[in-house]
Amino acid sequence: MQTDPTETRLRGLMLASLDGDAAAYRTLLAELGRHLRPYFARRLTPAFATHAEDLVQETLLAIHTRRMTYDRSRPFTAWLHAVAHHKFVDHVRRQSIRLTVPLEDDAPIFAHDDHADAAARRDLGVVLESVPPRTSDLIRRTRLDGATVAEAAAAHGMTETAAKVSIHRGLKALTARFSGGNK
Amino acid sequence: MTDDLIARLATDLKPVRPDALPRLIMGAVLVSAVVAAIAMLMWLGTRADMATAPGTMMFWTKFGYTLALAVLGGVATLALARPDGSIRWPWLAAPVLLALLLVGAILQLANAAPDEVMPLVIGGTSLVCPWRIVVLALPVLLALLLAMRRLAPANPTLAGLAAGLFAGGTGAWIYSFACGEHGMMFVALFYTLGITIVAGLGALLGRLLLRW
């Protein structure tokens, strides 16, 4: 370890950085970035090679915020490797969860989040405002509040058929407007 | 993009003291232990015979056992809070301490009169003792975990366990000034139970809170 020139140089830069030398720190981080990029690229499967840059940045950030945990009496490259390894394992773990659990299976966890429910209701209110008020009220009564078409029609003094047509047109208009770029 | 980040980090650079990590951890424990000690005084008060207790061997047995476990937890915490830190001997030394205490407890029981055995094992506070230790250890555990969120444990669960042992030992040490029990077996059973609960809680919380 003591004869390794990389270790000696990087450790010297790190010790200067810990004492507040910003120029040494900039040099150190730039060099670490150059070391870390191929380190992560080699370990990532080709499909995720683009994540290498994210990992480099995450690791540099961790080096910065957790530099207190470097013990000056120990080799710097060992500490650096431990940080980079941790970031890599963490990344793979998160990635594998994302790859193996379909989004639909995740949904129930979020379905009962009160905060999200409130936000969804607010969004819905905004969306419903884009159709005529009577139509939006019919949709709200039948699709959200659980009323029957007959009840909703009676509330507006219209026939059941007219209410059905109105709801159908309203939903169609909303679908056309908010279905995104699929059309 | 990465160059921007490097420039930003370099302007944010502040000097770090060589002993910043132990200062952070010991500072957190010191402050929270004072809080726990004040809580103990206001809630339970010191044991009724506090003036004469330091003349008894049992006082120092409790004092020594709990403080030794706290020190083991502290040593493990300081090592495991670093990404390249690993340590094993405190995990081996803690059961040895318990074994020594059990040997002493068996000797004490063997020399005791038959009607003294139950008081030495169960005492009068066995149901509340572990929970009081947990309550007194909680401020220490929370302060420790909060401080350790700024650190980088390679294994958050294990680092949480070490913090739990540190906090549990400290809480039990503080409680020992309020506890009038005089059975070694009592300490071996119910102090150990309280400390173990705190250690387990530390592992659980560490797993959640010490991710980075």
Q: pLDDT of B80-95, one tens digit each?
A: 999 999 999 999 999 9
The predicted-structure confidence for A126-135, as pLDDT tens digits, reads as follows 778 888 888 8
Range of the domain at B108: 20-209
Domains of chain A: 5-100 (1.10.1740.10), 112-182 (1.10.10.10)
The predicted-structure confidence for B144-165, as pLDDT tens digits, reads as follows 999 999 999 999 999 999 999 9
CA torsion B102-B103-B107-B109 (nearest 10°) is: 20
- Min Cα–Cα distance to chain B from A36, Å: 12
Are B166 and B140 in contact by the 8 Å Cβ rule? The answer is yes
CB proximity under 8 Å: A 69-128 to B: 69-72, 74, 78-79, 81-83, 86, 90
The predicted-structure confidence for A78-115, as pLDDT tens digits, reads as follows 999 999 999 999 988 887 766 554 444 444 444 445 56
Residue B11 placed within a domain: no
- Token pair belonging to A88: 């890599």
Residue B134 placed within a domain: yes
CA torsion A67-A71-A72-A73 (nearest 10°) is: -170
What span, in angstroms and rounded, lies between the C-alpha atoms of B20 and B114?
Answer: 54
What span, in angstroms and rounded, lies between the C-alpha atoms of B130 and B172?
Answer: 9
Are B115 and B204 in contact by the 8 Å Cβ rule? The answer is no
Lowest mean pLDDT: which of B29-33, B119-123, B132-136, B187-191? B119-123
Residue B93 placed within a domain: yes
Half-sphere CA count of B173, side-chain side, radius 13 A: 19
Chain centroid, CA A12 distance in Å: 37
User: B84 and A60 in contact by Cβ < 8 A?
Assistant: no
User: Is the pLDDT confidence value at A117 over 90?
Assistant: no
Residues of B with CB under 8 A from a CB of A: 1-3, 5-7, 9-16, 18, 20-21, 24, 81-84, 150-152, 154, 211-212
What band does B136 get if pLDDT is binned at 50, 70 and 90?
Answer: very high
What span, in angstroms and rounded, lies between the C-alpha atoms of B157 and B212?
Answer: 12
- Give backbone dihedrals phi and psi of B46, rounded to 5 degrees, phi first: -70, 160
- Token pair belonging to B128: 């509340």
3-state class of A130 per DSSP? coil
Are B36 and B170 in contact by the 8 Å Cβ rule? The answer is yes
pTM exceeds 0.90, yes or no: no
Residue B13 placed within a domain: no
Are A53 and B1 in contact by the 8 Å Cβ rule? The answer is yes
CB proximity under 8 Å: A 36-55 to B: 53
* Partners of residue B14 in chain A, C-beta under 8 Å: 20
- Min Cα–Cα distance to chain B from A153, Å: 53
What span, in angstroms and rounded, lies between the C-alpha atoms of A170 and B191?
Answer: 69
Mean pLDDT of the B45-67 span: 92
Residue A143: name the closest of A111, A175, A112 by CA. A175
Number of domains in chain B: 1
Query: Buried b vs exposed e over B59-72: b needs ≥16 C-beta within 10 Å?
Result: bebbeebbbbbbbb
ipTM for the whole complex: 0.86
What span, in angstroms and rounded, lies between the C-alpha atoms of A136 and A154?
Answer: 15
Are B32 and B140 in contact by the 8 Å Cβ rule? The answer is yes
Query: Buried b vs exposed e over A144-155: b needs ≥16 C-beta within 10 Å?
Result: eeebebeebbee
Q: What is the largest CA-CA distance in chain A?
A: 91
What band does A182 get if pLDDT is binned at 50, 70 and 90?
Answer: very low
Residue B9 placed within a domain: no
